[in-house]
């Protein structure tokens, strides 16, 4: 279907002999937030890694109406950007350098522009410019990971468990930032275990179980789906 920013069909991924994704199909419209929820080990992170090109996959990935570039760098250049679960920051380098490197594939003028935006969005990081990334707190590290990703001027941001290991209050901060990012025109594919919070900010939801899509639909409908509620959202109080 045309008009979609991302169109996955029949994505299979295997680690050695074990197949972990058995033909996932998913589509997302430009400017939307789509969330993929599911239990640990369902293959959510693998899906994001496959979209980014970090793990080899079969099936087709159509991005912006054309097959996605083959290399990771090609995908970054085309506007895809992954914020992985483990953040993968450059821990012995300064906050400033981490942010600067996020714009590695952009021109110096583009970097200068985006840098201002990023520091305005994350004043906390602006204060800690010179500090080493490894000395930041968990929430700050997640912010830095987001800031670094924004420096690549993404059109589609792939977020892997941005709330993992963070205090509840910071989780709300981070998810607020995520839904604010959408207003700038960035589309977001959000993988979360915190299903309730994710469905709250998303437009569409996909439930992945054991490497297959079990359920999909508008996030507002999924949030009230009785079967889903029982297994993933906790019983309603």
Partner 1 sequence: MIATFLIQDGVTNGAIYALLGLALVLLFSVTRVIFIPQGEFVAYGALTLALLDGGKVPATTSLLVCFGAVAFLFDLWSMRRGTDIRAFLRSLALNLVLPGVIYGITIVLAPLDLPSVAKALLTILIITPMGVYVYRIAYRPLADASVLVLLIASVGVHLAMMGLGLVFFGAEGLRAEPLADDNYTIGALMVSAQSLCIYGATIAIIVGLYMFFERTLLGKALRATAVNRLGARLVGVRTHLTGVTAFTLAAAIGAVSGVLIGPITTIYYDTGFLIGLKGFVAAIIGGLASFPITAIAAIGVGLVESFSSFFASSYKEVIVFGLIIPVLIWLSLSGGFHEEE
Q: Which residues in this chain contact partner 1 in the complex, by CB under 8 A?
A: 52, 54, 71-73, 76-77, 81-82, 84, 88-93, 97, 100-105, 134, 148, 151-152
Distance CA(27)–CA(69), nearest Å, equals 18
What is the strand order of the sheet 58-63 is part of? 18-28, 6-15, 58-63, 66-67
169-184 CB burial, b ≥16 within 10 A, e <16: ebbebbbebbeebbee
Of 58 and 92, CB closest to partner 1: 92
Least CB distance to partner 1 at residue 98 (A): 8
Least CB distance to partner 1 at residue 169 (A): 26
Of 52 and 61, CB closest to partner 1: 52
Of 105 and 215, CB closest to partner 1: 105
Q: Are 79 and 154 in contact (CB under 8 A)?
A: yes
Distance CA(157)–CA(51), nearest Å, equals 11
Non-local CB neighbours of 18 within 8 Å, separated by 6+ positions: none
Of 43 and 102, CB closest to partner 1: 102
Least CB distance to partner 1 at residue 37 (A): 23
Least CB distance to partner 1 at residue 83 (A): 8
């Amino acid at each position: 279907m045309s008009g979609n920013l991302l169109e996955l069909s029949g994505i299979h991924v295997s680690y050695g002999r074990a197949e972990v994704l058995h033909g996932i199909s998913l589509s997302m419209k430009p400017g939307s937030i789509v969330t993929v929820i599911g239990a640990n080990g369902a293959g959510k992170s693998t899906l994001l890694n496959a979209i980014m090109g970090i793990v080899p996959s079969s099936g087709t990935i159509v991005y912006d109406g054309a097959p996605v570039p083959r290399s990771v760098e090609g995908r970054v250049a085309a506007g895809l950007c992954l914020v992985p679960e483990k953040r993968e920051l450059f821990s012995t380098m300064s906050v400033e350098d981490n942010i600067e490197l996020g714009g590695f594939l952009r021109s110096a003028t583009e970097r200068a522009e985006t840098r201002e935006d990023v520091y305005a969005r994350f004043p906390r990081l602006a204060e800690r410019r010179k500090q080493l990334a490894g000395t930041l707190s968990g929430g700050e590290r997640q912010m830095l990971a987001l800031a670094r990703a924004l420096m690549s001027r993404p059109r589609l941001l792939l977020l892997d468990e941005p709330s993992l290991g963070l205090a509840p209050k910071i989780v709300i901060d981070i998810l607020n930032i995520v839904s604010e990012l959408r207003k700038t025109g960035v589309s977001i594919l959000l993988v979360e275990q915190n299903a309730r919070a994710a469905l709250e900010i998303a437009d569409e939801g996909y439930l992945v179980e054991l490497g297959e899509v079990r359920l999909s639909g508008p996030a507002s409908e999924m949030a009230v789906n009785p079967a889903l509620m029982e297994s993933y959202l906790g019983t309603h109080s």
